[in-house]
Amino acid sequence: MNDLIIGMAGSGGDGIVSAGESLISALSREGYYGILTKSFGSQIRGGESSCRLRVATTPVLNPGGTLSVAIVLNWEDFMRFGGELPVGPDTVVIYEKKTGVEPSEVPLRVRPAVVMAVPMAEIAMKAAHALQAKNNVVLGLLAGWFGLGRQAILEGIRRKFGKKGPEVLQANEQAFAAGFEYSEQHPLGADYRMAPPVAVGVKRQVTDGNEQCAAAALFAGCKFFGGYPITPATEVMQHLQKDIWKHGGSLLQAEDEIAGIASAVGASYAGRKAMTATSGPGLSLKTEVLGLASLAELPLVCVNVQRGGPSTGLPTKPEQADLFAAAFSSHGDTVRPILAPISVEDMFGITVEAFNVAEEYQTPVIVLSDQEIAQRKDIVDAVDTSRFKLVERLQPNAQELQNYTRFRLTDSGISPISHPGMKGGSYLAAGIEHNEAGAPSSSGEMHAKMNDKRLRKLSPLLQRRDLFVVEGNPDAAIGVIGWGSIAGVVLEAVRTARAQGIDVKLLIPKLIYPIAEGIYQDFFRSLRHGLVVEQSHQGQLHRIIRMWTDVPKSFTSMAKSGANPITPGDVLQRIVHLSSGSASAPAPALNPTH
């Protein structure tokens, strides 16, 4: 096999997620690629927990659909995850014998390929005299049956438990060995062993989107972060508070979301690159200050890690339903650019791009990440930072400072910006409409000119084809659009369809807003059927595209509420359906659970 999807579920104390983390680190060292996603009940500690690990010999695009392997420590917890851990006819199901369920009576709707009851707790007690070692028994079983990095896992166990004394280390090593031994004594029947890694020796890391965001911000020259803890964005602040000082910057854990963004706007006014990060409820609170940054033309990066909403919603689950809020939740005529990463790896480049756009156009930029990209762990190649160019804001030259006009109406709409401390550059920044010099103005004529300036300056963005991924035959009659963490799903589905001979093409926008009308129009030209795949109930991108473009006659939305995974298989099925020419017939319904 060269693509394996392992799903594990248990109670909080079973250490299932920790096993997943150990495994992905080991596989990274071995030379594999992978994605680890974790899912929890809403308890802060304890309760049910699960993870999915997809491992492959080539870069992994998404967490995948149906499991190749299901590890069930207890059936009740496993079943709670429903569609997040789908079992199919090809799945190998390995479960704790102590659950007392007969292999013929497992509570699954399909009959899996293999069902194995393993006395995991018993093995752990025998080998390590500790129930907590159960997760290392699981790792032993996986290493044995699926040929997954035995040496690297052992190395990881030594690193993790070495500090805890020889007894603890030995117990865990023995648990792993006992699991491995069990697998050798009980063959699965068919060979499920993973193919050896291909890209050995490439420098890579196990990382998540929030970590990449923080790293990219520092690389881009961010000197200030103001924010407030909120799931699932908090880690951005947690990473930055360790390192930003080393770069001559500072960070404020503010008293609320508003003060978080307000302090960042202040830092930007003071001439520094500044950022805030939040999730839906925080974005709602920040909108007034975002408007201030738009009117005062101050660069600012606002990262919004989407979770299920509205209100508290589903704080630990992904959704792509903050697009309307990000695009439209400002009063007045304003446009603030929205960028979205398509993977953990892409979060680095998108964050750098967000700083560049913010500084170049003196505007707030919203980065729409989501819980999955923010918190899933990916094995990625080390970032090649030499491919990024950094943009600095346009400052007034000596001559311009002789008679400085902050909001000069230029052709590009961009006017040089000074900052406190710069002699000759004093001006009044304000949320109130102003004339070119910055003096408050309530003239309708001036307001129209300034609105035009603030919108005009963003127009070069609409030509940024590099912020769109396009694949497939340009003349294809079927076109699929996906964004954010769904992009990887769509990419895999389209590639699979093309491999099956279906003529389909793909468009993945990373510039989500403003809508680059021309780029969409070019994509639509050959289409008989357009399809937008996204994780929101209303299909928000589908609707926004329709506001700005002339869409193909058949332009459908494949949208699911957050926390309901959309798999490459789901999308492929829809593409096949469209290609069979029966687009007018009802499309196969999406099953929200299995």
Interacting residue ranges for other proteins, rule: CB under 8 A: 223-224, 226, 245-250, 252, 254-256, 258-260, 262-272, 274, 288-289, 291-292, 296, 419-432, 439-440
Residue among 180 and 269 whose Cβ is closer to other proteins: 269
State in angstroms the smallest separation of the CB of 382 from other proteins: 21
State in angstroms the smallest separation of the CB of 388 from other proteins: 20
For the record, the structure tokens of 450 come out as 């300034």
Q: Please give the single-letter amino acid code of residue 399.
A: Q
What is the SS3 assignment for 513?
strand
Task: List alpha helices for 147-233, DSSP H.
Answer: 150-162, 166-185, 209-220
- Neighbouring C-beta atoms of residue 541, cutoff 10 Å: 28
> In Å, how far are 20, 26, 203, 205, 428 from 381, measured between CA atoms?
20, 15, 6, 6, 46
Full strand arrangement of the beta sheet holding 69-72:
114-118, 92-96, 69-72, 3-11, 48-56, 33-40, 377-381, 204-207
d(CA 136, CA 333): 58
d(CA 275, CA 156): 35
d(CA 456, CA 472): 33
Residue among 252 and 305 whose Cβ is closer to other proteins: 252
d(CA 42, CA 315): 8
State in angstroms the smallest separation of the CB of 216 from other proteins: 20
CA trace torsion 560, 5, 384, 274 (10° rounding) = 40
State in angstroms the smallest separation of the CB of 282 from other proteins: 14
Residue among 51 and 298 whose Cβ is closer to other proteins: 298
State in angstroms the smallest separation of the CB of 392 from other proteins: 15
State in angstroms the smallest separation of the CB of 440 from other proteins: 7
d(CA 321, CA 309): 7
* Long-range pairs of 406-410 with CB within 8 A, sequence gap ≥ 24: 406/436, 406/437, 406/438, 407/297, 407/434, 407/435, 407/436, 407/437, 407/438, 407/450, 407/453, 408/436, 409/436, 409/449, 409/453, 410/453
Residue among 256 and 475 whose Cβ is closer to other proteins: 256
DSSP string for 518-568 = HHHHHHHTT-SEEEEEESSSS-HHHHHHHHHS---SEEEEEE--TTS---H
Q: 263-273: b or e for each residue (b if 16 or more CB lie within 10 Å)?
A: bbbbbbbebbb
State in angstroms the smallest separation of the CB of 93 from other proteins: 51
State in angstroms the smallest separation of the CB of 525 from other proteins: 44
Residue of 246, 231, 140 lying closest to 186 (CA atoms): 140
d(CA 136, CA 304): 36
DSSP secondary structure code for residue 421 in this structure: T
Residue among 289 and 373 whose Cβ is closer to other proteins: 289
**Using CB atoms within 10 A of its CB, is residue 448 exposed (0-12), middle (13-18) or buried (19+)?**
exposed
d(CA 398, CA 152): 60
Residue among 300 and 566 whose Cβ is closer to other proteins: 300
Residue among 442 and 593 whose Cβ is closer to other proteins: 442
Residue among 226 and 337 whose Cβ is closer to other proteins: 226
State in angstroms the smallest separation of the CB of 405 from other proteins: 14
Residue among 415 and 549 whose Cβ is closer to other proteins: 415
Residue among 214 and 274 whose Cβ is closer to other proteins: 274
State in angstroms the smallest separation of the CB of 70 from other proteins: 46
State in angstroms the smallest separation of the CB of 330 from other proteins: 12
Residue among 271 and 413 whose Cβ is closer to other proteins: 271
State in angstroms the smallest separation of the CB of 432 from other proteins: 6
For the record, the structure tokens of 442 come out as 């309530």
Say how far residue 316 (Cα) sits from the centre of its chain.
13
Residue among 59 and 266 whose Cβ is closer to other proteins: 266
Full strand arrangement of the beta sheet holding 504-509:
468-471, 504-509, 478-482, 529-534, 554-559
State in angstroms the smallest separation of the CB of 362 from other proteins: 15
Residue among 195 and 439 whose Cβ is closer to other proteins: 439
